[in-house]
Amino acid sequence: MIFKDKTVVITGGSEGVGAAAARMFADAGANLMLVARNKKNLEAIAAELRDKTRVEIFAMDVSDADACVDVFKKTEFEFGRIDILVNNAGFHQRGRFEAVSAEDHANMVDVNLRAPIMLSRLVLPYLQETGNGAIINVGSLAGRQPLADQVTYSATKAGLRTFTYALFEELRGTGIKTALVSPGPLDTSFIMSNLDVVADLTMSQPISTAEDVAQAILGLCGDRQREIALPAISAALSRFFTIFPWLKGFLLPVLEAKGARVKQKLKAQASQEQ
């Protein structure tokens, strides 16, 4: 897809994957509406990118239904069209299921699943006006291979994956595409600032960057793929465990031991840098 003069709405657009995607879309000439809760962070990324393209910001909580309506109204008012929605905002409260509060379980459902469904429904009329476009959802390998201590997070990401695939089928032939990027561990504050509570199994896998995921997002806008899972070796492992679930019990202790070593190494490096 050629992004010049297209309009892209990115949730969670102030940092991490969202900011990386914003930079890449800006380099490609797209107009940007960046959405996040923290207005100060939004203003910072917008100031960085305004010498490359037109950028507007909208500070909101994606679980706020009224704000979800308003953000698209503002986007159309500012840019005259909407071409791409990137559902990137996420919330993850790690820990044993019973140790996580009921409120945090509900927040994970609201931010990771209900909000992307709501935003996708609201953006469709705008995409239909242009006759094409894309909805790209940011999932997780946890949605392909459920993990202990990430029960509700895994459930929401699995639900988002199913939603994406089902909507892809429903929109087939319309010119509007839905797709999903499912990353493993990322070198962002989403994981790196909470290493003590990140599952050892998660950290046994190669670590991707926000730029890796952002590149996948841009690629999915213009090709026929429905999902990119990365890194490739972790995606293959998730498929392997799905086909042969009984082998997971044999390999899990080995992978968890490796992940524990990786976490200790990363924490030691962080201590040296302080």
Active site residues: 153
Q: Which helix (H) or strand (E) holds 229?
A: strand 227-230
Please report where in the chains the tokens 């499912």 appear, as a residue.
182
Asked if residue 32 lies in contact with residue 11, where contact means CB atoms within 8 angstroms, the answer is no
CB atoms within 10 A of CB 77: 9
CB atoms within 10 A of CB 69: 13
| 3-class DSSP assignment, residue 101 | coil
187 CA to centre of own chain? 14
Alpha-carbon separation of residue 216 from 20, 22, 37, 137, 149 (angstroms): 11, 13, 24, 11, 27
Q: Which two tokens stand for residue 274?
A: 């302080």
Q: Which helix (H) or strand (E) holds 64?
A: none
